[in-house]
Amino acid sequence: MIPTARTPVRTAASLDRGKPARSRNTQRKRADTGKARLAVAALSFLVIYAVIGARLVTYAMESDVRVASGHTGDRAIAAARPDLTDRNGHILATDLVSPSLYAEPHRIINLDDAVEKLNAVLPELEIAELRAKLDSKRKFVWLKRELTPRQEADVHSLGLPGVGFRRENRRVYPSGRIAAHVVGHVNVDNRGTAGIEKFLDDRGLAELHGMGFALDRAQKPVPLSIDLRVQHALRDELVMAMEKFSAIAASGILMNVHTGEIVGMVSLPDYDPNQPETALEPEAINRMTTGVYEMGSTFKAFTVAMALDTGRITLEDRYDARRPLRVARFTINDFHAQRRILTVPEIFVHSSNIGTARMALDVGIDGQKEFLRRIGMLDRLETELPENAQPLYPKKWKQLNAMTISFGHGISIAPIQMAAAASALVNGGYYHTPTFLPRDRDAARALAKPVLKPETSDAMRYLMRLNVERGTARKADRSGYRIGGKTGTAEKVVNGRYARNKLMTSFLGTFPADDPQYVLLVILDEPKGLKETHGYATSGWNAAPTAGNVVARVAPLLGVLPKIDQGEPAESAIFVSY
């Protein structure tokens, strides 16, 4: 129909005006909702593409593609580890990123050409093994881990298809051998296999890596209790002593008597953790924790403390040392024989086997066993280091065993156990389990175990200082540092018999003796006599002066300054009662 003036034309607006208002509002809302959904969808796609684009740019800028260390098999790469520092923040172990060479055998075009070229730039790769890897059915094989920048450049210039690089975390130890036995080392996959490095993995780091966490993110450094300055000085003095006395080994440990912190620990020969294969050499064991030894006369300090702690024996008591003790076919004699009745201080100063054995008999077998267990001598000591040995002692503890154990024969312990027990002798009677992690005094006291009477500790400080002033440990004395201690010389067991010409000498000391802060144990294995020692190879001639040199070097570093005015000498108070 053709519209006329009488027939109005209906437009969209006029039609819309004819609809109810509710219907018009519904349509507008639907239109707005559609536009909003389109906007959200567009924004989502934009974000997704931006992320993908950024990731592609990142991959393009990298020279390789990382593989998570949580993957198993050949593709597993070295995961990141936290830095290890000494107590002052100096780096002991850290990660560096280095390239490692891999191959995808199925992409190798010319096997002979690849083998020849790779062997030319990396001659350390054995040809037969290299050929076997490149000709294998596997999709991925490692060819060489931890390349140098020069090696990476040389291989890259070959342009071999199927050969590439992956960036890995490589563990480095800036201090090298200085703290090797404490820090430990890792394997090629950056997993801890010894020392604190293994402790970290045992405490959960390996599990985090396995689950894909803590791979390459920055991790909080782990501080240790050792002081790198002290560690260097201790090692340096032991190296010099080892050379001077032609010893086959040397070791030492320095422990804070109030916290149990190990401030320094050295075992020689040691190894370079940057070359972990050197740790497999038999002589590179950690003698402080892994080895157990008869400690000789240093053990007398614990026998005397045991006797005094009973309350039945005092410093004024006397013991008959005029004649050797004979038990069955065995004879107990004195190296520094006095052949007279000795007071308890004289037994300690002259290191009398006879007097010490008689004291042990007065305490009794049960009392001796109980005391040694109380101060941690009969059980395996557990520290953060995984390498801890079990003490060796008689299953049937008879009277003869009690007598020989009193002066350090017939029982073998880890030296770190002796250091821990010695701390209780001088710190007021509290036993602290040794630790290689920082521990303050409040935390230490909460964990401490009282094992001695305070008056027993007072007496032992006096006796140890007296022995350095006028006894077998005189050569350990250093002016102003008030060192106290006990020497020990033990014949080594060879083929089931004691060898008179193979000695292990030791010095167990504390400083300053009037207010002990640290315990020091120094051990030399098979030292030789010199002209200046008149041919003697006993501890008073080698281990004692070595310990004195160590104290003179480390005490200032630890804030222990020499005191020139020492007051009344200990000699004038031999019979003072505690």
Per residue in 277-327, pLDDT tens?
Answer: 999 888 999 999 999 999 999 999 999 999 999 999 999 999 999 999 998
Whether the pLDDT of residue 168 is over 70: the answer is yes
Q: What pLDDT shows up at residue 496?
A: 79
The rounded distance, in Å, linking the Cα atoms of 411 and 295 is 8
CA–CA distance, 203 with 197 (Å, rounded to integer): 10
* Mean pLDDT of all residues in 84-99: 93
The C-alpha atoms of residue 301 and residue 463 are separated, in whole angstroms, by 9
- Mean pLDDT over 422-443 rounds to 97
With cut-offs at 50, 70 and 90, classify the pLDDT of residue 341.
very high
Q: Percentage of residues in the chain with pLDDT exceeding 70?
A: 82
> Closest Cα to residue 179, out of 257, 255, 263?
263
Give the C-alpha separation, 340 to 350, whole Å. 12
Measured CA to CA, the distance from residue 103 to residue 139 in angstroms comes to 8
**pLDDT at residue number 394:** 94
Which of 384, 416, 434, 435 has its CA nearest to residue 201?
384
Average pLDDT over residues 500-525: 96
Is the pLDDT at 69 greater than 60, yes or no? no
Question: Structure tokens of 246?
Answer: 């032609």
Residue 478: pLDDT over 90: yes
**Scanning the structure block, which residue is given the tokens 């094989």?**
141
Q: 566 pLDDT exceeds 70?
A: no
Return the amino acid letter for 116.
E
Residue type, 369: K
Helices 454-470 and 300-309 pack at an angle, to 10 degrees, of 140
Residue 45 has pLDDT above 80, yes or no: no
> Which of 327, 190, 199, 179 lies closest to 253, judged by CA?
179
Residue 515 — pLDDT band, cuts 50, 70, 90? Answer: very high
Tokens 């995808």 correspond to 104
Burial class (CB in 10 A: 0-12, 13-18, 19+), 28: exposed
pLDDT of residue 213: 45
Tokens matching residue 116 = 């020849």
Distance CA 404, CA 296 (A): 10
Tokens 């702690």 correspond to 309
Q: Are 451 and 431 spatial neighbours (Cβ–Cβ below 8 Å)?
A: yes
Average pLDDT over residues 50-74: 46
Answer yes or no: is pLDDT of 570 > 90: no
**pLDDT on residue 212:** 44
Taking the C-alpha atoms of residue 548 and residue 4, their distance in angstroms, rounded to an integer, is 127
Predicted pLDDT of residue 411: 95
Confidence band for 47, pLDDT divided at 50, 70 and 90: low
Better-predicted residue by pLDDT, 36 or 403: 403
The mean pLDDT of 333-353, rounded to a whole number, is: 93
The whole-angstrom separation of Cα 561 and Cα 355 is 36
92-116 tens-digit pLDDT:
999 988 888 999 998 998 998 899 9
Q: What is the DSSP letter of 4?
A: -
Contact 66, 166 (CB under 8 A): yes
Whether pLDDT at 388 is above 80: yes
- Separation in Å, CA 362 to CA 296, 349, 357: 20, 20, 9
- Residue 111 has phi, psi (to 5 degrees) of -60, -50
> Phi/psi class of residue 408: alpha, beta or left (left: φ > 0; alpha: ψ in -120 to 50)?
left
**Could you write out the DSSP letters of every residue in 230-281?**
HHHHHHHHHHHHHHHTT-SEEEEEEEETTT-BEEEEEEES---TTSGGGGGS
Residue 76 identity (one-letter amino acid): A
**Backbone phi, psi, residue 440, to 5°:** -85, 175
Catalytic residue among 69, 251, 267, 297: 297
pLDDT at 532 over 80: yes
> What is the bridge-based pairing of β-strands 192-194 and 222-223?
unpaired
Query: What integer pLDDT is reported at residue 573 of this predicted model?
Result: 35
pLDDT at 218 over 80: no
* The two three-digit tokens of residue 484, written as one number: 């106290």
- So what's the pLDDT on residue 328? 81
pLDDT at 23: 57
Mean pLDDT (the chain, rounded)? 86
Residues 457 and 427: their CA atoms lie apart, in Å, by 7
Residue 145 — pLDDT band, cuts 50, 70, 90? confident
Give the Cβ contact number of residue 79 at 10 Å: 24
% of the chain beyond a pLDDT of 90: 66
**Is it the case that residue 217 has pLDDT exceeding 80?**
no
Residue spans of the domains in the chain: they are 73-223, 229-562
Q: How confident is the model at residue 337 (pLDDT cuts 50, 70, 90)?
A: confident
For residue 126, pLDDT beyond 50: yes
Between 54 and 387, the more confident residue is 387
Tell me which residue of 433, 422, 438 sits closest to 388, measured CA to CA: 433
**Spatial distance between the Cα atoms of 253 and 281, rounded to a whole number of angstroms:** 22
Confidence class for position 148, pLDDT limits 50, 70, 90: confident
pTM (predicted TM-score): 0.79
Q: Decide if 457 is catalytic.
A: no
Whether residue 14 is predicted with pLDDT greater than 90 in this model: the reply is no
Biggest CA-to-CA distance, the chain: 151
What phi and psi values does residue 122 have, to the nearest 5 degrees? Answer: -130, 75
Q: Tell me, what's the pLDDT at 99?
A: 87
What's residue 71's pLDDT? Answer: 39
**Structural element, H or E, at residue 505:** strand 497-511
Kindly state the average pLDDT of the residues 219-247: 97
Decide if pLDDT at 259 tops 60.
yes
Fold of 73-223: Penicillin-binding protein 2a (Domain 2) (3.90.1310)
Question: What per-residue confidence (pLDDT) applies to 27?
Answer: 62
Domain range 229-562, CATH class? alpha beta
Mean pLDDT of 40-55: 67
Q: What is the DSSP letter of 391?
A: P
**What gap in Å lies between CA 196 and CA 437, rounded to an integer?**
10
For residue 361, the model assigns a pLDDT of 95
DSSP β-ladder status, 330-332 and 325-327: antiparallel
Stretch 248-254: mean pLDDT: 98
Task: Cis check for the bond before 516: say yes or no (omega within 30 of 0).
Answer: no
